[in-house]
Chain A
Amino acid sequence: MNNDNKQLKRERIAKRIVKEFHDNSLVNLGIGLPTLCANFLPEDKTILLHSENGFTGLGPAAKPGEEDADLTNAGGCPVTILPGGCFFDSAMSFSIIRGGHLDATVLGALEVDSHGNLANYMIPGKMVPGMGGAMDLVTGAKKVIIATEHTNKNGSSKILKKCSLPLTGVKVVDIIVTELAFIRVTKEGLVLEEISEDTTVEEVIKATDAELILADDIKKF
C-alpha cells in the first residue's frame, strides 16, 4: 500500500465515523487516526470536542508563530480553543469522561474482539506506553467507536474472536470502523452493517478473524 493510498483509507474511516456524531454532542478523539475525524466534522451539527488535558472546544492546530505554551492537546501539541469552549483541571476533565457527560469517544486499537473488548495500551515486553486516559474514556463515554485499520502490519486481522493483549476495557466497544467495514458490537456478536465501496462481503469475512453476523441489507460507504 503506498502512502497516498494509506492516507485515503484513513480518511475514509474518519469520514464514516463522523456520521455517528449527534447534533449538540461532546466528543473526545484519541491520538493518531481518531484525530483525523476533526477534519471532517459535519457542518450542519454542533459538535464540541473535549480534550482530556483540560478543555472543551478543541480547535485546529495553532498556526506557526501563534503557538501558546499553555494551550496544547492531549498529545502535547499546540492547538487552539474555539468560542464556546472552556478550561478546567484534570479532576473535572475526567469527571466529564467518567460521569456520563461525554457522548462519544473515538479510539485506536491494537486488538478488538467479538465481545467488544478492546486492547490498545500495551504489548508486554515490547511496547508499554501506558493507558493515559483510554481506560476512563471507554468506561465513561456513552458511545465507544474504534477507528482502526482492518489488519496489522503483518496482514493479520485486528478484529479477533478474543483479544490476547492486556485489555483497556471489557465489553466497552459499540462500533468498529475500518477501511473495509462498519461493524456494530451487539450481544449476539459482531454485525457487519456496511462495507466500503471497493470491497466485497467475502473479502471482509476473509480479512476478519472474528465471526461476522451479516446484516440483512449491507450498505456501502
Chain B
Amino acid sequence: MKKILKPEEAVSQITDNSSIMIGGFMCCGQSFNLIDALIENGAKNLTIICNDAGYPDKGVGKLIVAGRVRKLIATHIGLNPEAGKKMNSGELEVELVPQGTFAERIRCGGAGLGGILTPTGLGTEVEIGKKVIYIQGKNYILETAIKADFAFVKSNIADVTGNGFTAKSAKNFNVVMAMAAKHTILETEKLVEKGEIGTEDVTIPGIFVHTIVEGKYE
C-alpha cells in the first residue's frame, strides 16, 4: 500500500535546497494542492523543474512569486512577468531548455539513460558548452538526464496502488516526471480502491508513485 496523506503531510519531508519536478503545461494538469501546501511548508532555495513559470497567481508561478525558488529549469517563462523580473535581478536562476529536449532529459532521468542525442538547438545558444557528436552522417547535441528529489504529478482518478489516469492534454509532463524523481507524489482528484481503475486506462503506473494525495482543487 502507498502512503495516502494530506497535502501538508505529503510535502512535510521537502526541505530547503530540494529539487522538485512539477508536471503541467501552463497550469493544465498541475498539482495545485501540493503547490499550495509547499508554500505553507516554507521550504526555500528550491530547484523547480517545470515546463513553464505558470501565472503569477496560479500554479507553479505562486512558488516563484513567494521567493521560494532559486533555480528554475523550464522551456518558457513568458506568461509570468514576476519570473522575468526575478531572473533579471539575479534572484532567480533560469535554465531555458527546448521543450522536446526538456521532455527527453526527464525521460532519461527515469529510464536509466545518461542522456540523448538531439539535433534541436544546433548552432544556437543552446549548444554552448555542450558536446556535439557526429554520428550516422549528422551532428547532434548531447543532452544529459535530469533527475529530482521529488516529483508532483497529477491524475484525475487513481487507485490506492498509485495507478493513475490523467485525462486529455493534462498528461503532458506528468508521465515522464512520475518516473524521474526519488520520491513521486501523485495528486489525484479522485481516489478509488485497488482494481477500480481500468487496467488499460492507466497513464501513470503505480510503481512510480510513493505517496498519494486526494482532493479536487477548489
- Chain A positions 93 through 134: 1 when the CB is less than 8 Å from some CB of chain B, otherwise 0: 111011000000000000000000000000001001111111
Name B124's contact: one of A74, A89, A170 (CB within 8 Å): A170
Residues of B within 8 A of A131 (CB): 75-76, 96, 98-99, 126
Residue of B nearest to A78 (CB): B28
Q: A52 an interface residue at 8 Å Cβ cutoff?
A: yes
CA gap between A90 and B106 in the complex, in Å: 11
A164 shortest CB reach to chain B, Å:
13
Residues A90 and B120 in contact in the complex (CB < 8 Å), given A69-B28, A76-B27: no
Q: A51 an interface residue at 8 Å Cβ cutoff?
A: yes
Which of B3-11, B172-180, B207-215 lies at the interface? B172-180
Q: When the two chains form their complex, are residues B168 and A89 in contact, meaning their CB atoms are under 8 A apart? A: no
CA gap between A90 and B79 in the complex, in Å: 20
- Chain B positions 30 through 74: 1 when the CB is less than 8 Å from some CB of chain A, otherwise 0: 000000000000000000000110000000000000000000001
Name B156's contact: one of A70, A90, A134, A135 (CB within 8 Å): A70
Q: Count contacts on B: residues with CB < 8 A to the other chain.
A: 47
CA gap between A72 and B24 in the complex, in Å: 11
Q: When the two chains form their complex, are residues B74 and A130 in contact, meaning their CB atoms are under 8 A apart? A: yes
Q: A168 an interface residue at 8 Å Cβ cutoff?
A: yes
The secondary structure that dominates the A interface is loop
CA gap between A55 and B25 in the complex, in Å: 13
B4 shortest CB reach to chain A, Å:
23
- Chain B positions 123 through 143: 1 when the CB is less than 8 Å from some CB of chain A, otherwise 0: 111100000000000000000
Q: A88 an interface residue at 8 Å Cβ cutoff?
A: yes
Q: When the two chains form their complex, are residues B104 and A94 in contact, meaning their CB atoms are under 8 A apart? A: yes
CA gap between A81 and B171 in the complex, in Å: 15
Residues of A within 8 A of B96 (CB): 128, 130-131
CA gap between A69 and B40 in the complex, in Å: 25
Name A129's contact: one of B78, B107, B118, B175 (CB within 8 Å): B78
Q: Show the binding face of A for B, using Cβ within 8 Å.
A: 51-55, 68-72, 74-76, 81, 87-91, 93-95, 97-98, 125, 128-136, 139-140, 166-170
Q: Show the binding face of B for A, using Cβ within 8 Å.
A: 25-29, 51-52, 74-79, 84, 87-88, 94, 96, 98-104, 107, 118-126, 156, 167-176, 203
A-B contacts besides A88-B171, A129-B84, A135-B120, 17 pairs, CB < 8 Å: A51-B169, A69-B170, A70-B29, A71-B168, A72-B169, A87-B167, A90-B103, A131-B99, A132-B52, A132-B75, A133-B98, A134-B98, A135-B100, A135-B124, A167-B123, A167-B124, A169-B124
